[in-house]
Structure 1
Amino acid sequence: MPGEVAKQQEQAYKGLEKGGWPDLLAKPSVPSPPGTDTQLIDAQNDVEAVAAWLREYQDSPQTLKSYRREAERLLLWLSSHNTSLCDMNREMLRQYEAFLADPQPAEQWVGASKPRYHAQWRPFRGGLSPASRRQSLIILQGLFSWLVEVGWVRHNPFVLMRDKARRLNNQAQTIERYLERDLWAWFWQWLNAPVGHASERESYEQARRRFIFCFAYLLAPRISEMANARMGDFQESEGRWWWVVVGKGSKLARIPVPDDMLECVLEWREALGLSGLPSYHEPDPLIRALDKRRGISDNQLYRLIKGVFSEAADALEAQNGKPAYVSALRRATPHWLRHTAITHQAQSGVSLRYLAESARHSKLDTTSRYLHTEDNEWHQEQQRHRLKTAPKTPSDPL
């Protein structure tokens, strides 16, 4: 990249550090020539080109959030190397993949969670796991494919990646990030243990924790769906209760509410000072802050759930629980609850058709990853193949 353009690009990125990145809609005046002669987007630099790509996902807030995060990391890394998107080649992609595993220098790239405008904000909390690195590369592969189509870059470096289909395949054969039934049974019992002489705030927090995990386990919502849920989303029709949710891809869905969930809703409303089940026109937040009125963000909810998992791991470890179970609780994220809910529904005998409807999967192949029936049957069949009891006397020579 010519020195003049590199300097201009660096200035553009510095301008973003003052607050342009949170919505990626800033339009720095510093030009950055596209990689081809035919440009199909109105952009003057890499940031604006990426912003145009992200606007394609403005109707999917959670997708937009994760895509923006990965695009920002790449652009900041390119800026630190005085280069741009059109210069990205296979070797640079290899270097960036290694960087995702260990962002160095750590003081520049790694830090505690802070608001984007905070002086101590950093793009990473630490090096990414193999699964997270794979997801990052999948997102960036899509970005480069789009940039090629609109004429911003000449080539997609991911095309040269050997064994790309396997390396960038994030569809595991079965879901493994979930809590096994025995672990979930212990966790739910631990979560519902009497607190003792608790203050009013402690009692409220305990009730909120119980409701959050009840909601997550019985209806398998995504974290954003939980944070955005309203009381009026629980609706009665012909004597049956349904949870109405606008999910991934802005798709409207209606999920049957089991009786246990209705009991949890009643208990939670009692903790909020409300009586009975929700009315149809009740727009107040379902999950609320300590003032019992305001809602909470998906980030706050994420940290709350992670905190409970961490406490549970400490408690199970103190009880000399299985190390594998303790490890699972320490690694668990809020999305594990969705996996746990769907997996346990499958194990309870819910048919694949209705399981897919409740999970809101567009393809049955996605839902089938939660079915462990064949694994169980395979394991039982394999027991037929075993070492017999050794004979008491040596066998005759063959």
Structure 2
Amino acid sequence: MTDPLAKLDKALSSGCAEAHLVLPAREGRSGALIRASNDAEAVAQWLAEYRDTPQTWRAYRREARRLLLWLDKQGAGLGDVDRETLRRFEAFLADPPASWTGPARPEGHPGWRPFRGALSPASRRQALVILQGLYGWLVEAGWVTHNPFRLMRDKSRRLNNQAGRIERYLERNLWDWFWRWLNRPPAADATPRQRYEQARRCVVFGFAYLLAPRIAEMAAAGMNDFFLLEGRIWWRVTGKGGKLAEVPVPDDFLACLKQWRGALGLSALPTHDEDTPLIRALDGRRAVGDNQLYRLIRRTFDRAAEALKGEGGSAAAVNTLRRATPHWLRHTSITHQAQAGIDLHYLAESARHSRLDTTSRYLHTEEARWHAEQQRHRLTPPTDEDAPRVSPGR
């Protein structure tokens, strides 16, 4: 990115200590209820409201940063956004220039870019939902005078979280291939590190698929979060909004856990006082952070895509693996649980959804039945001997 964009990103990510390097000051704004001298500082104060929910904070920061970077290129600020500006920004999200896109990189890397590619309609909708909330807060704070999102005629359709059914997941046959690929025996000359990394990938993806954790929950999971109660193993998790939950552990994950603990040189199951990380760094002791775990999962998906392409897999399946993110694993888990016939009430409990209609977005059964029923409508009558015979009318 160009220097001004890099400076702005640095200002936003460092608590806005250097925000004055980029954006024009807005000191003395009448009626402002926050202490900020420019847009980046105002946004940083909005983000501070979410510091207790790191995953939400990161998602909101990402979208706010993209908007500020784009506005900086336009020579505009948050208070200059009108309905036409939003129209152009939405078009930008759908097709960002090549200079704004690139592979996932850690922040600070010279190859970092704000986008990996064009955002899907669902991702654009979610970005607008987040930014609408930002502007609502800025209006209340007296930093801007209006919320331009309220001018969007179709905001009731796009700017809410009641989206359609979940589509960002791996279909069952693709997941089956992926899990087999992940568990292929290592080469005879594989190094100890390579064997360790494979064991770690298996527990990471087994955990993600069987228990549907969010990535922050995976990174924070400890060995003693898995406990025995009346002969059954449960997972204790502090989830979104600081809510504590206990989730039943499937037998298949116990097998993954035992295999992983074997790779660590530990007993088959953890003890109640084993206050150590579940997912560990290469030294086998330290925990991994959210970002490190994110990159591990994305690298694995990329490698799988290359492997599937080499095996002659369909272009659509290869593309799905290339696009997949860690959160797709949660979608995949919940979708496949629904397809397996798990009761909606229990599915919502395991997913830790506060509303059943959120869980119902993962149900694809009705679409499958509808599609099957529609096949009864034919251009010519069925030839099956069992088909009902109807005499033509006079």
TM-score surpassing 0.5? Answer: yes
SS at 1:21's partner residue? helix
Rounded Cα–Cα distance in structure 2 between residues aligned with 1:267 and 1:344:
24
- Deviation string 1:115-143 (CA, Å, 9 cap, x unpaired) is 44455544334443333322222111111
RMSD of aligned residue pairs (Cα, Å): 2.8
Deviation of the 1:147 alpha carbon: 1.0
| Cα distance between partner residues in 1 of 2:378 and 2:6 | 66
Distance 1:327 1:25 in 2: 38
Unpaired segments ≥5 residues, structure 2: 384-391
Q: Give the drift of 1:257.
A: 0.8
- Would you say 1:247 and 2:236 are equivalent positions? no
Alignment CA distance shift 1:124-1:345 (3 Å): closer
1:1-398 aligned within 5 A = 19-24=10-15, 26=17, 31-33=25-27, 37-104=30-97, 106-107=98-99, 109-111=100-102, 113-118=104-109, 121-197=112-188, 198-389=190-381
Name the CA distance, whole Å, in 1 between partners of 2:60 and 2:213: 21
Quick check: 1:12–1:28 contact (8 Å CA) kept in 2?
A: no
Please say which of residues 329-338 and 94-103 is displaced more in the overlay.
Answer: 94-103
Spell out, residue by residue over 1:79-116, the C-alpha distance to the aligned partner (whole angstroms, 9 max, x if none): 33333211211122222223333444x54x44554544
Structure 1 residues 76, 162: closer, same or farther in 2, change over 3 A?
A: same
Shift of 1:168: 2.9
In structure 2, the CA distance between the partners of 1:345 and 1:123, relative to structure 1 (3 Å rule), is closer
**Counterpart for residue 3 of structure 1:** none
Is there any run of 5+ residues in structure 1 with no aligned partner, and where? 1-10
Sort the Cα spacing of 1:387 and 1:76 in 2 relative to 1 into closer, same or farther, 3 A: closer
What's the CA shift string for 1:61-80, capped at 9, x where partnerless? 01101111211222233233
Counterpart amino acid of residue 156 in structure 2: A
- Structure 1 residues 129 and 377 mapped into 2: Cα distance closer, same or farther (>3 Å)? closer
SS state of the match for residue 57, structure 1?
coil
Task: Give 1:145 shift.
Answer: 1.1
Instruction: Look up the SS of the partner of 2:12 in the other structure.
Output: coil
Q: Given the superposition, is the C-alpha separation of residues 14 and 388 from structure 1 closer, same or farther in structure 2, using an over 3 Å criterion?
A: closer
Is the contact between residue 222 and residue 335 of structure 1 (CA under 8 Å) also seen in structure 2?
Answer: yes
Q: Percent identity?
A: 62
Matched positions, count: 381
Relative to 1, partners in 2 of residues 1:68 and 1:195: Cα closer, same or farther, differing over 3 Å? same
Residue in structure 2 matched with residue 7 of structure 1 by the alignment: none
Contact persistence 1:245–1:254 (CA under 8 A):
yes
1:123 to 1:192, Cα distance in 2 relative to 1, 3 A: closer
Distance of aligned partners of 1:386 and 1:325 in 2 relative to their CA distance in 1, 3 Å threshold = same
**Shift of residue 265, structure 1, vs aligned partner:** 0.8
CA distance in 2, matches of 1:14, 1:113: 16
Cα distance change, pair 282–91 in 1 and its aligned pair in 2 (3 A) = same
| 1:238 positional shift | 2.1
SS in 2 for 1:275: coil
- Asked if the contact 2:11–2:19 (Cα under 8 Å) also holds between the matched residues in 1, the reply is no
